[in-house]
Amino acid sequence: MLAEPHFTRHAGAWNMLTAAVCMALLGCLQAQELQGHVSVILLGATGDLARKYLWQGLFQLYLEEAGKGHSFRFHGTALTSTKQGQEVIAKVLESLSCPRDTAPGRCTELKAQFQQLSEYRRLKTPEDYLALSKDIEARVQHEGLQEAGRIFYFSVPPFAYAEIARSINSSCRPGPGAWLRVVLEKPFGHDHRSAQQLATELGSFFQEEEMYRVDHYLGKQVVAQILPFRDQNRKALDGLWNRHHVERVEIIMKETVDAEGRTSFYEEYGVIGDVLQNHLTEILMLVAMELPVNVSSSEAVLGHKLQAFWALRGLQRGSAVVGQYQAYRGQVRRELQKPDSFHSLTPTFAGVLVHIDNLRWEGVPFILMSGKALDERVGYVRILFKDQAYCAQSEKRWVPAQSHCLPQQIIFYIGHGELGGPAVLVSRTLFRPSLPSASWKEVEGQPGLRLFGRPLSDYYAYSPVREQDAYSILISHIFHRRKDSFITMENLLASWVFWTPLLDSLAHEVPRLYPGGAENGHLLDFEFSGSHLSFAQPPLEQLVLGPDSAPMPSDFQVLRARYRDSPLISAWPEELIARLAGDIEAAAVQAVRRFGKFHLALSGGSSPVALFQQLAMGHYSFPWAHTHLWLVDERCVPLWDPESNFQGLQAHLLQHVRVPYYNVHPMPVHRRQRLCAEEDQGAQAYAEEISTLVTNSSFDLVLLGMGTDGHTASLFPQSPVGLNGKQLVVLTTSPSSPHRRMSLSLPVINRAHKVAVLVMGRMKREIAMLVSRVGHEPRKWPISGVLPDSGQLVWYMDYDVFLG
């Protein structure tokens, strides 16, 4: 009885106590459940990227996570002295801003907290790393916390990666139960080999799951929306997202800034390593990959992405155009202390034509383009659909939302440009897209604004409700362990496998000079046909000199002469190939007219690639339906191996023409799961096939090449077989890998009605000179044994070989 009044009297205090205990308890519960202390270590904290984006991203993380159970500390580190570093960081922290919807008071409060939780320290030696680790442990212990994990953000040049990684691994890993995440900024190597090397090196310090490789374009809101957009609009897109409907895809990132101040970086990577290999390739994959059933499964997305990588057609020299803004050379000389005679070949502009050889995209051009010192800053992906309608009404009666004769396109507008921000645009005649309404809103009309040839009102246009910076988004994903916005090692290496051959082939290419900005005029416009891309206009110097001053290919006559007593045709490479392709077509037409079929035996290697492409693209009257294709030689690798000659034929010719499959005769190098085993009798089987199908085993035309050692087909100097005798097909050994080969023999080659030997490039100068003088010595130079019994031999040599 007494207790009640007592209780009643103290009810207020009791309630307060209860609330306080509950709060504390709740705090403890949270602390046990999800919290713990998170240390973020920003390496390179005083650098450009950190000052511009990363500190703001970390602040954003704090704004989102403060009060949700974790405690934080942000350690900015660099090699700079403590005093200097502290000054820089203090300035950066002062400039941080809150999102527009944060109340000013709240912003000031959180900013002050963040400043308090941030520090600068110099991190240089392994001892410094150890000291940092001890400090974190001491703080955690002192404050009665548990350590949740450590994030190391590498905002440092890649040459410093290995050393830092070693120090973290040896002295700064968190204790058991806490996680480690290391965030790495591109560039990850400058070609496939260096990327592989870096991957191996980092792999010796960190697990793959601990590494977050950043491509900040994957954090851009519009880029991150590509897969969800495809997913949420499956119904409308299913029928449209393919080669039957897509005319072409443009993936573009134009910049007005140049590379001043960054030339030491730029000299090593150029625009291809800086932008195309990473940002634009990632976007390409998001557009081109097959859509997984579950787009939020990172494994499924990666798997589909890799499949798309493997379907990319290899790039060749002719797949790209490159340029360099005029001031670049001077900037390099100044910044890197190079002499006046120094000429950089680094491209600051590139346009690349990509093809994807799969059923969805075959034949659709994907144009990737990026450059510095251009006329505007803008980034976008534009999917332009084919115009497949005829409109019966006159154009003046076309209604934008209904007429199917207006351009139809979907644009993922990454940012900047006329629109000034990110947006997704869909032509109204296509469909009304569905986007998550919580995060995307319809763009308000901007009168007079035209995009891609149409007024904005022609599109359904959506922009993010709240614009967010890519780095803030990615930092939040790192914290929440969302790995799907980062680049896996497999993904990275696949991209380098694709780009490295092009970089190699451009290594000695002189980029076209351009003045920069609006003055570039049409100088960088390019056009494409087949797999080939070229500038639409002659270069500036020639424009200045006058259009007639440069020699035109037509100024050079195809030269006819004799070589080893046989006709020689010599020309510039393109003309030579055109001539040879024309001669082969003429032979085919003649053979089909007389005998109903044409037996053509083709060599592998790199020289015939251009010929195959020419035949595939430009010879519409070629009687493919009556042509039998044979291999002159083959490497002893499975036919699907990229090294096999058959693959070259398949990629550059067969898949583009209509040869009945029963007319294609690959060499049987792979029988009973073995490669070129004598006892499998592959050579005999091919010889039988030839005897059965080719009258007198006389091919209508055999195309050969000539190696720098004088080999032809796969008949190498000192070959013990294939130079004479009865065998039509032999197994041989090559001095270079893969060593085992299968080859037509000289006797069967010499039975052909016509033999064409194609020789191209400077590398062949010496051997061409030598072979022009030697007699019939096939043991030393197998090519000298090519002399058709009653057929005709013609040599096709480009000027590089012949005039050298």
Neighbour count for residue 20 (Cβ, 10 Å): 10
State the pairing for strand pair 118-122/211-214: unpaired
**Residue 274 Cβ, how far from ligand BG6 at the closest point, in Å?**
5
In the bound state with ligand BG6, the residue whose beta carbon lies nearer, of 75 and 279, is 279
Rounded to 5 degrees, φ, ψ at 705 are -125, 180
DSSP classification of residue 344: -
Size of the site for ligand BG6 (CB under 6 A): 4
Which residue number is nearest to ligand BG6 in terms of Cβ? 274
CA-to-CA distance for 561 and 161, rounded, in angstroms?
Answer: 59
The footprint of ligand BG6 on residues 445-504 (CB under 6 A) is none
Q: Assess 255 for contact with ligand BG6 (CB under 6 A).
A: yes
**Annotated catalytic residue 279:** yes
Q: 322 with 512: CB under 8 angstroms?
A: yes
Neighbour count for residue 8 (Cβ, 10 Å): 10
Structure tokens at 71: 């405690």
Q: Assess 258 for contact with ligand BG6 (CB under 6 A).
A: no
In the bound state with ligand BG6, the residue whose beta carbon lies nearer, of 233 and 370, is 370
**How would you label 93-109 residue by residue, b for 16+ Cβ within 10 Å and e otherwise?**
beebebeeeeeeeeeee
In the bound state with ligand BG6, the residue whose beta carbon lies nearer, of 226 and 430, is 226
**Residue 257 Cβ, how far from ligand BG6 at the closest point, in Å?**
6
CA-to-CA distance for 28 and 30, rounded, in angstroms?
Answer: 5
**Residue 379 Cβ, how far from ligand BG6 at the closest point, in Å?**
6
Which of 74, 71, 211 lies closest to 147 in space, CA to CA?
Answer: 71
H-helix or E-strand containing 321?
Answer: strand 320-325
In the bound state with ligand BG6, the residue whose beta carbon lies nearer, of 275 and 332, is 275
CA-to-CA distance for 380 and 374, rounded, in angstroms?
Answer: 15
CA-to-CA distance for 728 and 719, rounded, in angstroms?
Answer: 15
CA-to-CA distance for 793 and 795, rounded, in angstroms?
Answer: 7
In the bound state with ligand BG6, the residue whose beta carbon lies nearer, of 273 and 785, is 273
The footprint of ligand BG6 on residues 342-401 (CB under 6 A) is 379
> Looking at this protein, which amino acid is placed at residue 399?
V
For residue 632, CA distances in Å to 649, 715, 741, 783 come to 12, 10, 11, 14
**Residue 394 Cβ, how far from ligand BG6 at the closest point, in Å?**
43
**Residue 279 Cβ, how far from ligand BG6 at the closest point, in Å?**
6
In the bound state with ligand BG6, the residue whose beta carbon lies nearer, of 365 and 379, is 379
* Alpha helices for 34-103 (secondary structure H): 48-49, 55-65, 82-94
In the bound state with ligand BG6, the residue whose beta carbon lies nearer, of 274 and 575, is 274
From candidates 147, 274, 700, 798, binder to ligand BG6 by CB under 6 A = 274
In the bound state with ligand BG6, the residue whose beta carbon lies nearer, of 274 and 633, is 274
Rounded to 5 degrees, φ, ψ at 77 are -135, 155
How many Cα atoms are found within 13 Å in the side-chain-facing hemisphere of 204?
Answer: 11
Neighbour count for residue 326 (Cβ, 10 Å): 15
- Taking phi over 0 as left and psi of -120 to 50 as alpha, with beta for the rest, 141 belongs to alpha
Structure tokens at 526: 């390019």
Structure tokens at 129: 């790393």
In the bound state with ligand BG6, the residue whose beta carbon lies nearer, of 255 and 700, is 255
**Residue 328 Cβ, how far from ligand BG6 at the closest point, in Å?**
13
**Residue 64 Cβ, how far from ligand BG6 at the closest point, in Å?**
21
**Residue 161 Cβ, how far from ligand BG6 at the closest point, in Å?**
17
Structure tokens at 681: 């009798």
DSSP classification of residue 150: E
In the bound state with ligand BG6, the residue whose beta carbon lies nearer, of 252 and 275, is 275
**Residue 359 Cβ, how far from ligand BG6 at the closest point, in Å?**
33
CA-to-CA distance for 765 and 669, rounded, in angstroms?
Answer: 32
**Residue 97 Cβ, how far from ligand BG6 at the closest point, in Å?**
18
Tokens 């030598």, residue? Answer: 770
Q: Which of 70, 192, 216, 279 is catalytic?
A: 279
Q: 412 with 222: CB under 8 angstroms?
A: yes
Q: Assess 282 for contact with ligand BG6 (CB under 6 A).
A: no
* Alpha helices for 323-434 (secondary structure H): 328-335
Rounded to 5 degrees, φ, ψ at 491 are -60, -45
Binding site for ligand BG6 (CB under 6 A): 255, 274-275, 379
Active site residues: 279
